[in-house]
Structure 1
Amino acid sequence: MLETTVVVIGGGATGMGTLRDLSMRGVPAILLEQGGIAHGTSSRFHGLLHSGCRYVVNDPESAHECIEENMILRRIGKGCVEVTEGFFVLTPKDDPNFVEPWLKGCDAAGIKVKEITPAEALKLEPNLAPDIQRVFRVPDSCVDGFRLVLHNRMSAERYGGRAYLYHKVEEIKQRNGAVCGVTARDLMTGELMEIACRVVVNAAGSWSGEVAAMAGLEAAITPDRGTLIVFNHRFTSRVINRLHPSSDGDIFVPHGSVTILGTTSMPTDRPDDTTPTYPEVTRLLEIGEPLFPQVHEYRILRAFAGTRPLYTPGGASGRKASRNFNVVDHAADGLDGMVSIFGGKLTTYRLMAERVTDDVCRRLKVTTPCRTAEEPLIEAPDPAVLARAAKLFPVRALNLMADRLGDDLTKTLQIAEVAAVASKNTKNTHITDFGGGNPLLCECEMVCLAEVECVARDPSTHSLTDIRLRTRLGMGTCQGTFCSLRSVASLVEHGIPLEFAPADSMCRFLQERWKGLRPVLWGQQAREMEFSRSVYAGILNLDGAMHEQNN
């Protein structure tokens, strides 16, 4: 039996942020997550770091929180944020009467907005529709949700926090009206883990209603499903928003080398309802056309979906539900030591974690103040370490790799250096082998073997998908068609086993990637998909294995 003071349930941004805050204040804590890193909502959104402008008219409190947290995250999470700015654009299909109340809302929330002419906007973003009416510059930015969760975990672990992935909570134990522990099952081994604790924090996002019910409590959580489209190239350098009341398909977000269009809003009764559909994709394209007239001609990389954990105590749903968050102490419901955090947005995750940690610390009589807004998630890499890495990794991807790896940069470099020494006298170096023994496995995202090997050796890594979420392996143009085979073969060669057999690991990875392609299979996309399928189903004789995975 393990013992700790606080158990946090849910390993998304809010849960990991809470683990970090508790650990920095000296409170012993363990986090339990049923999936891998950023398993739920924190990895299934458009990557927008909100300025708050989207909410200034109907949800001013959320707008104020967004702009404050936007500026904080730019400071503490530099490796996770790309500062792009954004445009709010009035098209001929939007109501011009909405502009004035929107501007007043921005001013009241403290959000700096500057109007520019359509001609100026078109010089900066030439792919925009030529008939746009008005354009306003706003402090929107982009954030990598996978990396944000990972870096919060790294920070928490530096202060003694412990995170267990693939551990699903099965029971919240109670004694005399108070929480006394939890039981979780290791989904990889089937073994049960008993943890004694004084407080349980329910930060399970769209699953938080189910966690509350496990403790005999009720929570007004409505999972709200949103579908998004990933385009193959970055046709805008800024976040582009429609200037109208929040609606479907009104935001384009540049993200690395791609652009994401989102999102829809549809209530669902399943927090894991994450399969996009063809009608949703075609509808998003139609809605996006007033901003980018050529949007139907852009190559689509994939579609994906996620669920928002909307807190709906008044019965509101969808766009009418507030994006604000609530901390609920369930002592008032008869269960002492149970605290839930509901609602909110990824942009405000740190504030949400601070508020729920404040509540826990008051209960525990801990007076250490919160420091999460001041201390960086990850320290800037040592220039000397980067200079060593430049000899073994592609230089133009060096900063990307350092941002991805965070605390694991030195460890990865050591793996590459050992491999370089071992292969010094061999002549079988690949054309993309940097420094010897460190071939480039994924050209789309510039991921080398040493990085894959470092992540694969982490005890919480069980699959190629786990590696993907930390390295972006397979998230580029080929969607894993080539790098999946290279990665599995390299791991086998280096004696690093995954949870499943090599062929099974590859099939599972490809099926997860191809799930996002099925709703967009037309034209050239369909032809490319058939080519990819033939590579694995025909040449490698994996047709039966892939069919089994598909079913």
Structure 2
Amino acid sequence: MKNLTADVVVIGGGSTGAGVVRDVAMRGFRAVLVERADLGQGTTGRFHGLLHSGGRYVVSDPESATECAEENAILKRVQADAIENTGGLFVTTPYDSEEYADGYVEACRATGVPVEEISVAEAIRREPRLHPETKRAFAVEDGTIDGWKLVWGAARSAQAYGATILTYHRVTEIAHGDGQVQAVVAHDERTGNDVRIECAFVLNCGGAWAGKIAQMAECHGVDVVPGAGIMVAMNHRLSQSVINRCVYPADGDILVPAHPVCIIGTTDQRVDSPDDIAIPRDQVQQMLDSGEAMIPGFRHARAIHAWAGARPLVRDSRVSADDTRHMKRGMNVIDHLERDGVKGLLTIAGGKLTTYRLMAERIVDQMCEQMGEQRPCRTAEEAVPGSESGKMYTLSRRLAEVEKKTPGSQQIICECELVTRAKLEQAMNGLQEFSLDDVRRQVRLGMGSCQGGFCASRAAGIAHETGHADTTKANELLRKFMENRWIGLWPILYGAQVRQCALDNWIYEGTLDIEHLPGEEDSVAEEEVVVR
């Protein structure tokens, strides 16, 4: 067994864990982050991409609204490279009562959320596809955020301060004795080896899995409720700004422009396991109907992918255990010394991706207090690597980068997302043993209209050509990647998408005979969420 030593072990490689390890490392502690899969592969990589202005929660959860408004401004400074400053609109559609809108501005001002009521004519000028019978419109400071870029930015910042990031390491034990955490044991899913990390403190940032992680230290009853939501990506941007229905938070009331596509979401239902979430076809239809209410003709666009994620909600005694829609979105830090008599273990759950930096500050502050240390948080002042210029992402950025080069010098591997060969190779070189899904999370390979139909085989060929994979491995990379892309296609096989899937099937089954290419036996898709 390999042995490491650290002051702090952070469990969980989503946005919260990445933010926590960055904060810990910046305060001068020796830190190790342990994640069972790739960074951002859980809830963080399975959301609609919204950087909240706070406008959604001004009535339902005022404290969360204020936190979102404050963190929105901070993230636009310190993680500009991961954010597109689209702005947002809250609109009262012809199908919505104006009662909620009547008190909306006052609620925003009470919570510190910047807002301006604009005329319907101005709203339609900004967003010509809006329903022409829209009744009222409010402009807010929503944006969109690339969850993977955010997570990797925080992780690289942590590494620059000396932190160690261990992906594909599944925690199997939190060793403790005499009421004190002593070590974390993790299994390397790729090599089969184990590693023991001696430490004085463990910060449990496992999100929807936090309860199971706490049980490894014999801390039971951490009631984190997985609130599952589905999202559907459409094949192009039907709006240039975030559009929200001006109603009490409900299903399918947010439309988010994300890179070259847009995302409609989301539902909210309790599930037993965050690893097993269904995407029922009736919920897909519900999302499409909701999009139609905001953007007439929404259904005529092509749905290209459906997925689900699980919010890590803290059990709220004021509402039913199954009513995840009305559970508070605020963060909660659990002190296991006070609660379970185990020193050196804190769990955090709840919160939003928008407030991930604040969540990290809160739990690390509490850790420092328990350790008797006075080390201030600096994450709100220092930009992560890649965001030092303060320039936010724009949709045209990748095209501009390609056009700056000598014509013909930039081979385009993924036309949908404008992934060049240079960017693809850079991502592969920066990873150790990888899957094409790991590469996808770095550069968005195969996430556009064809869902890997044209670029996946090219990427597998480049992995082989550059020496990252032999023939057998390259075949397996391709097969697994396409399996995972198809998981998100089964729930939306209708209309034009059927023709696209038929074309992809002809390419990979009819021409390449992908199922019979020489490769590793018993190929298993990597996706953590199973679609039934």
Give the structure 1 partner of residue 89 of structure 2. Answer: 87
Could you tell me how far apart the structure 2 residues matched to 1:325 and 1:114 are?
28
In structure 2, the residue corresponding to 1:289 is in which secondary structure?
helix
* Structure 1 residues 36-435: aligned runs within 5 Å: 36-217=38-219, 218-314=221-317, 316=319, 317-332=323-338, 333-380=340-387, 396-397=400-401, 433-434=408-409
Aligned residue type for 1:93: Y
Residue in structure 2 matching 1:479, options 434, 446, 451: 451
Could you tell me how far apart the structure 1 residues matched to 2:492 and 2:28 are?
49
Q: Is the alpha carbon distance of 1:525 and 1:351 closer, same or farther for their aligned partners in structure 2, counting shifts above 3 Å?
A: same
Contact 2:180 2:344 in 1 (8 A): yes
Contact 2:316 2:327 in 1 (8 A): no
Give the structure 2 partner of residue 424 of structure 1. Answer: none
Q: Is the alpha carbon distance of 1:353 and 1:500 closer, same or farther for their aligned partners in structure 2, counting shifts above 3 Å?
A: farther
Contact 2:81 2:386 in 1 (8 A): no
Residue in structure 2 matching 1:539, options 490, 511, 517: 511
Give the structure 1 partner of residue 498 of structure 2. Answer: 526
Contact 1:463 1:499 in 2 (8 A): no
Report the TM-score when normalising by structure 2.
0.92
Could you tell me how far apart the structure 2 residues matched to 1:498 and 1:36 are?
22
Aligned residue type for 2:173: E
How large is the RMSD of aligned CA atoms in angstroms? 2.2
Could you tell me how far apart the structure 2 residues matched to 1:398 and 1:540 are?
30
Could you tell me how far apart the structure 1 residues matched to 2:516 and 2:34 are?
35
Contact 1:433 1:440 in 2 (8 A): no
TM-superposition CA deviations, 1:105-124 (whole Å, max 9, x none)? 21111112111111111111
Contact 1:206 1:223 in 2 (8 A): yes
Q: CA deviation at 1:515?
A: 1.1
In structure 2, the residue corresponding to 1:290 is in which secondary structure?
helix
Q: CA deviation at 1:320?
A: 1.1
Q: Is the alpha carbon distance of 1:28 and 1:448 closer, same or farther for their aligned partners in structure 2, counting shifts above 3 Å?
A: same
Q: State the aligned residue count.
A: 509
Contact 2:15 2:356 in 1 (8 A): yes
Q: CA deviation at 1:273?
A: 2.8
Could you tell me how far apart the structure 2 residues matched to 1:499 and 1:206 are?
38
Could you tell me how far apart the structure 2 residues matched to 1:315 and 1:499 are?
57
Q: CA deviation at 1:274?
A: 4.3
Give the structure 2 partner of residue 408 of structure 1. Answer: none
Question: Where does structure 1 lack aligned partners over 5 or more consecutive residues?
Answer: 383-392, 402-415, 421-431
Could you tell me how far apart the structure 1 residues matched to 2:432 and 2:271 are?
30
Contact 1:461 1:467 in 2 (8 A): no
TM-superposition CA deviations, 1:115-155 (whole Å, max 9, x none)? 11111111111111111100010111111101000000010
Contact 1:164 1:460 in 2 (8 A): no
Q: Is the alpha carbon distance of 1:531 and 1:87 closer, same or farther for their aligned partners in structure 2, counting shifts above 3 Å?
A: same
- Higher RCO (CA-CA < 8 Å; seq separation 6+): 2
Q: Is the alpha carbon distance of 1:62 and 1:394 closer, same or farther for their aligned partners in structure 2, counting shifts above 3 Å?
A: closer
Contact 1:57 1:101 in 2 (8 A): no
Q: Is the alpha carbon distance of 1:505 and 1:379 closer, same or farther for their aligned partners in structure 2, counting shifts above 3 Å?
A: closer
Could you tell me how far apart the structure 2 residues matched to 1:331 and 1:395 are?
53
TM-superposition CA deviations, 1:403-428 (whole Å, max 9, x none)? xxxxxxxxxxxxx9xxx9xxxxxxxx
Contact 1:273 1:307 in 2 (8 A): no
Q: CA deviation at 1:502?
A: 1.3
Q: CA deviation at 1:86?
A: 0.6
Q: CA deviation at 1:286?
A: 1.4
Contact 1:251 1:263 in 2 (8 A): yes
* Structure 1 residues 460-475: aligned runs within 5 Å: 460-475=432-447
The answer to whether residue 13 in structure 2 is matched with residue 26 in structure 1 is no
Could you tell me how far apart the structure 2 residues matched to 1:224 and 1:184 are?
27
Q: CA deviation at 1:548?
A: 6.5
Aligned residue type for 1:323: R
Could you tell me how far apart the structure 1 residues matched to 2:412 and 2:373 are?
48
TM-superposition CA deviations, 1:462-495 (whole Å, max 9, x none)? 1000000001111112111111111111121121
Contact 1:462 1:498 in 2 (8 A): no
Q: Is the alpha carbon distance of 1:7 and 1:152 closer, same or farther for their aligned partners in structure 2, counting shifts above 3 Å?
A: same
Give the structure 1 partner of residue 413 of structure 2. Answer: 441
Contact 1:7 1:200 in 2 (8 A): yes
In structure 2, the residue corresponding to 1:370 is in which secondary structure?
coil
Give the structure 2 partner of residue 409 of structure 1. Answer: none
Could you tell me how far apart the structure 2 residues matched to 1:477 and 1:78 are?
26
Contact 1:468 1:474 in 2 (8 A): yes
Could you tell me how far apart the structure 2 residues matched to 1:309 and 1:394 are?
34
Could you tell me how far apart the structure 2 residues matched to 1:499 and 1:237 are?
43
Could you tell me how far apart the structure 1 residues matched to 2:290 and 2:466 are?
48
Contact 1:225 1:273 in 2 (8 A): no
In structure 1, the residue corresponding to 2:210 is in which secondary structure?
helix
Q: Is the alpha carbon distance of 1:29 and 1:500 closer, same or farther for their aligned partners in structure 2, counting shifts above 3 Å?
A: farther
Could you tell me how far apart the structure 2 residues matched to 1:355 and 1:397 are?
39
TM-superposition CA deviations, 1:210-267 (whole Å, max 9, x none)? 1011211121101011000101111101100001100000000011111100000110
Contact 2:229 2:267 in 1 (8 A): yes
The answer to whether residue 493 in structure 2 is matched with residue 490 in structure 1 is no
Question: Where does structure 2 lack aligned partners over 5 or more consecutive residues?
Answer: 390-396, 526-532
Report the TM-score when normalising by structure 1.
0.89
Aligned residue type for 1:7: V
Give the structure 1 partner of residue 476 of structure 2. Answer: 504
TM-superposition CA deviations, 1:422-460 (whole Å, max 9, x none)? xxxxxxxxxx851xxx53211211112222222223344
Aligned residue type for 1:396: A
In structure 2, the residue corresponding to 1:181 is in which secondary structure?
strand
Could you tell me how far apart the structure 2 residues matched to 1:81 and 1:13 are?
14
In structure 2, the residue corresponding to 1:94 is in which secondary structure?
coil
Residue in structure 1 matching 2:428, options 449, 456, 460: 456
